[in-house]
Structure 1
Amino acid sequence: MADWGPVVVATVLFVLLTPGLLCTVPGRGRVAEFGSFHTSGLAIIVHAVLYFALLTIFLIAIGVHIYAG
């Protein structure tokens, strides 16, 4: 059986944490902007750190597993 948990979690987090899609942290004029479709270098770094932290929590600490087959 294949474990699809890491693939699904990584894909969902990547889509949700794409800078500018749902939110941008930090925004241009505010701490967070929602639906602005703008990004900056600092926002990319912040979102990458959040992605790594959440992915680590979901895969190692919680241990999400989805088996198919």
Structure 2
Amino acid sequence: MQTVGIWALSGPIFLIIMTAIFFFLLFIVIRSAINQSDLRKGMEQELKQIKHDLHHITELLEKREKNSGA
């Protein structure tokens, strides 16, 4: 009779464990998506900075070229 009680509880326990695993995996997926988004924003910011630096270097080289040619 006791073994029937244990088997009767195994279904809900299994369901609870599977639900916990599902939400844990969902949490991992959401967290990695957020990290990916933050990484992309950081890379975009770095790219803008590099473009700005290249533009500044180009201006300095043009000034140097004018001064050496004049």
TM-score, normalising length from structure 1?
0.33
Larger radius of gyration: 2
Q: Give the structure with the higher percent helix.
A: 2
TM-score relative to the length of structure 2: 0.33
Q: Does 1 or 2 have the higher relative contact order (CA < 8 Å, sep 6+)?
A: 1
